[in-house]
């Protein structure tokens, strides 16, 4: 039977924008259309067209059962195991529908396959874990930052108590000093509030939100997180930003997680290489279509034998208890979700530069 089902270029373009993996099969289960999300399985479109869907399935009794059920039901929902090109098994939620022409003649099948939600949940959990790991790494510095204003507040309260005890003999100068004490308490309280708000904002779970982000302001805000880490190190922070505003449409919180991760890594690299005159450099370059953020350290560099592994999940060179191997893998994942890419340049004993490239889509 000749298949008459055709996909127009417009429909094909629309289906390529859908997040799901979409197949259209002829009556003999041969793939006559697949959208670009076949990349989920490691293939190009051209590698799968005219192949049978069963070539991409892991042996799964569900498929045979679905074929029988769909004869009666016309459409159904379920799950199937697909084989990635690298032989890994990936589970998808699927919606399968029989296709018929205007005269009810059987034309084939439509399959919508969605990556199983448990994997998406795992990705989200890893994002949250990574944030907590980063917060834990700078916790000692944050505690030190809180100690300073609390000590000032405690001292101010002591001064106030001493003056109030002798309230009948307060001079004009004493009254002015009491005012100064309360102003200092208010200022230091605001400082504590600012520090705790930074922490809460960083770890708070928020849904992804695309909005206008001023990249330079984002970097300046993010540097506050690592300030406790750099304050007592022999390191100079150098910044090179364009004079014009650099604004893109993106997710502020996810971008900040990327920057905190890379900046902490840079600080760790500097700590690893003893000595003075270290620099942590942050540079922003713009083109008509992209913005690039360069984060450079003067650490020991990345050894050639691990350069192809640094973005692998759970790979770390840090001692047990110091690193999780989440940071760079999650950073790369976030950047790609935001439509960008990450690369690096490194030289032994001279340092490493990570380069974030993002679309300039204001």
Q: How confident is the model at residue 314 (pLDDT cuts 50, 70, 90)?
A: low
Per residue in 179-228, pLDDT (tens digit) is 777 776 776 677 666 656 655 555 555 545 678 899 999 999 888 777 76
What pLDDT is stored for residue 168 in this prediction?
59
CB 357 within 8 A of CB 339: no
Of 261, 262, 223, the residue nearest 239 (C-alpha):
223
Q: Is the pLDDT of residue 99 over 70?
A: yes
Domains of the chain: 9-115 (3.30.450.20), 117-205 (no CATH), 207-362 (3.30.565.10)
Q: Is the pLDDT of residue 240 over 50?
A: yes
- Give the Cα separation of 127 and 212 in Å (integer): 22
- With tokens 């190190």, the residue in question is 233
What pLDDT is stored for residue 271 in this prediction?
83
Percent of the chain whose predicted confidence (pLDDT) is above 90: 19
What pLDDT is stored for residue 138 in this prediction?
59
- How would you classify the pairing of strands 278-286 and 235-240? parallel
Count how many residues are written for the chain.
362
pTM beyond 0.85:
no
What pLDDT is stored for residue 159 in this prediction?
64
Lowest mean pLDDT among 138-147, 229-238, 276-285, 287-296: 138-147
> Which one is predicted more confidently, 57 or 126?
57
- Give the Cα separation of 224 and 198 in Å (integer): 9
- Give the Cα separation of 73 and 300 in Å (integer): 64
């Amino acid at each position: 039977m000749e298949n008459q089902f055709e996909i127009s270029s417009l429909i094909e373009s629309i289906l390529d924008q859908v997040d799901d993996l979409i197949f259209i099969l002829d009556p003999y289960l041969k793939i006559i259309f697949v959208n670009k999300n076949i990349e989920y399985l490691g293939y190009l479109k051209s590698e799968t067209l005219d192949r049978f869907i069963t070539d991409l399935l892991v042996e799964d009794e569900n498929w045979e059962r679905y074929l029988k059920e769909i004869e009666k039901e016309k459409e159904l929902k379920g799950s199937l195991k697909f084989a990635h090109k690298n032989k890994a098994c990936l589970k998808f939620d699927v919606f399968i529908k029989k296709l018929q022409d205007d005269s009810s003649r059987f034309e084939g099948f439509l399959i919508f396959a969605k990556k199983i939600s448990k994997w998406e949940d795992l990705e989200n959990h890893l994002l949250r874990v990574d944030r907590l790991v980063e917060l834990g790494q700078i916790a000692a510095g944050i505690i030190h930052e809180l100690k300073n204003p609390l000590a000032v507040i405690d001292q101010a309260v002591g001064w106030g108590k001493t003056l109030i005890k002798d309230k009948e003999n307060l001079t004009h100068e004493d009254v002015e000093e009491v005012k100064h004490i309360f102003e200092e308490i208010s200022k230091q309280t605001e400082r504590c509030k600012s520090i705790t708000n930074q922490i809460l904002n960083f770890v708070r779970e928020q849904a992804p939100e695309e909005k206008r982000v001023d990249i330079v302001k984002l970097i300046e805000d993010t540097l506050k997180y690592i300030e406790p880490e750099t304050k007592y190190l022999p390191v100079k922070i150098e910044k090179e930003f364009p004079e014009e505003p650099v604004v893109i449409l993106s997710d502020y919180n996810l971008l900040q997680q990327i920057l905190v991760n890379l900046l902490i890594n840079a600080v760790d690299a500097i700590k690893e290489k003893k000595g003075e005159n270290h620099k942590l450099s942050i540079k922003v370059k713009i083109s008509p279509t992209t913005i690039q953020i360069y984060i450079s350290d003067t650490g020991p560099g990345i050894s050639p034998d691990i350069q192809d592994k640094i973005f692998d999940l759970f790979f770390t060179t840090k001692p047990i208890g110091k690193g999780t191997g989440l940071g760079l893998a999650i950073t790369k994942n976030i950047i790609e979700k935001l439509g960008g890419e990450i690369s690096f340049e490194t030289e032994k004993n001279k340092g490493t530069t990570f380069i974030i490239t993002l679309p300039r889509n204001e």
